[in-house]
Amino acid sequence: MKKSLIYVLLFSVCSAPVFAGNVFDNFKDQLTNVTVPIAQDNLDNFAKDLGAVMVAGSYHSGKSLGFPGVDVGIHAPMKSVSDKDAIVKATGLNYISFPTLQVEIGLPSDLDLLVRYSSIYNANLVGGGLRYGILRNSMPFLPNISVQGIYNTLTVTNDTNKFTATAMNVSAIASFNLPIVDPYVGVGYYSATVTPDASIPTPQADMKGNGSGYIAEAGVNMGLIPLTYLQIGVAMINGDIGGTLGLGVRF
């Protein structure tokens, strides 16, 4: 199971445009020519899945950077599509992924500034947040603990499948200074809103989808060459399997 998940994550990075384009292809179809309750249910379940991958992959260490530390990486979160998510299920996809560039800048007082960006096909994500280091250790085997909050906005203009989405997430993360690898665990809560474009004839005006849930992830950071890392994480997202694959530099 873990090996197959890693393969899926690797594939998601290499074929990110395919994932992103297909995910949105049936958005309009599943909201038109249906009753209001069905359209609302479809929107809510889509928001729950999409919001998860918008905010997931935003951490891989409980250790704050410290001023003037910097971490730059590409993180590709993914999750299996919920059985209730009719919008994505209609595409035939089993996984949804949204690779994101994240830049982290260490500030004074154990604060880190997070800036996030992704542009895939006709979808653009921008976001940011803060991380606060509660406990910071340099000694082996001792824990590092931090909390963070992020907010993301996604704008999709994929043919006739146009909408905007917002997602916010709060998390607590712990990691440990072990030889060779740096393991981490984290748990968080997120909420998301999806707003269809006015050009989509939904059965009721001003419809919005709302979804929320939890993300619990555990993984490791493995050093490749000095200052670089490979991140592999396995997650449970609202009872569905997920994970993150990342690659970056940290100094």
Answer whether 192's CB lies under 8 Å from 212's CB: yes
Among the listed residues 51, 34, 103, 32, the one whose alpha carbon sits nearest the alpha carbon of residue 73: 103
pTM of the model: 0.89
Domain that holds residue 23: 2-250
pLDDT for 174-230, tens place per residue? 999 888 899 999 999 999 999 999 999 999 999 999 999 999 999 999 987 888 999
CATH number of the domain enclosing 208:
2.40.128
How far is residue 233's CA from residue 148's CA, in Å, rounded to a whole number?
Answer: 18
Q: Total domain count for the chain?
A: 1
Using CA atoms, how far apart are residues 171 and 56, in angstroms rounded to an integer? Answer: 10
pLDDT, tens digit (0-9, with 9 covering 90-100), for 33-91: 899 999 999 999 999 999 999 999 999 999 999 899 999 999 999 999 999 999 999 99
Q: What is the pLDDT of residue 22?
A: 76
Comparing CA positions, the residue from 132, 124, 167 lying closest to residue 148 is 132
Confidence of residue 139 (pLDDT cuts 50, 70, 90): confident
Q: Are 28 and 160 in contact (CB under 8 A)?
A: yes
